[in-house]
Amino acid sequence: MDEPSISRLAPERAPKQGQACPTTRADRALVLYVEHFEEIALGFRAGVYRVPSSTGAATYTVLLLPRPCCSCPDGRGGECKHVLVVWVVLKHTDPCSGCGRRFRHRELTEVPEDSLTWFPGDRLCQSCIVAHGGIS
């Protein structure tokens, strides 16, 4: 898989509101990340990402496998900003072992070694922990 250079795509480099309009594809991807992180991360299901357009008027479908592509007009080559923002979301999240949705690393809790319900090393989101009455 040809992962773009993610170091150029650090969210802290996203253009701030009031600064000049984002001009590069990477800038526009970072703006999407900052504004729509929750929707993109929590909307992940079975290998499919749903990414809102910059205007919010449409939602595009992004797949990374078997090769990156997006349902937007520029997306067939897998190099549009929607594919880029999915790479950034991937880098900053991990899947919950319970529900499979993606969360920021700090929002997941690692299962202890002596768990009866989960495999040690599994990581769970808060909703899954609550739904199972705790993590043991």
125 scored as a contact of Zn ion (CB under 5 A): yes
Environment class of 15 (CB within 10 Å of its CB; exposed 0-12, middle 13-18, buried 19+): middle
Q: What's the closest the beta carbon of residue 75 comes to Zn ion, in angstroms?
A: 3
- The CA angle 5-13-65, to the nearest 5 degrees, is 35
**Cβ neighbours for 133, distance < 8 A, ≥ 6 positions apart:** none
Among 29, 96, 108, 111, binds Zn ion (CB under 5 A): 96
When asked if residue 75 is in the footprint of Zn ion (CB under 5 A), the reply is yes
**Residue 23: is it exposed, middle or buried by C-beta count within 10 angstroms (0-12/13-18/19+)?**
exposed
Q: Binding to Zn ion by residue 89, rule CB under 5 A?
A: no
Q: How far is the CB of 94 from Zn ion (least distance, A)?
A: 11
Residue 86 touching Zn ion (CB under 5 A) = no
Among 6-14, 27-35, 37-45, 124-132, the segment contacting Zn ion (CB under 5 A): 124-132
- Give the nearest distance from C-beta 18 to Zn ion in angstroms: 26
- The reply to whether 68 sits near Zn ion by the rule CB under 5 A is no
Query: In sequence order, what DSSP letters do the residues of 76-96 get, joined into one string?
Result: GGS-SHHHHHHHHHHHHEEE-
Among 41, 70, 85, 89, binds Zn ion (CB under 5 A): 70
Helix, coil or strand: residue 9: helix
Enumerate the H helices of 14-80 as residue ranges: 25-42
- Provide the binding-site residues for Zn ion, judged by CB under 5 A: 60, 70, 72, 75, 80, 82, 96, 98-99, 125, 128
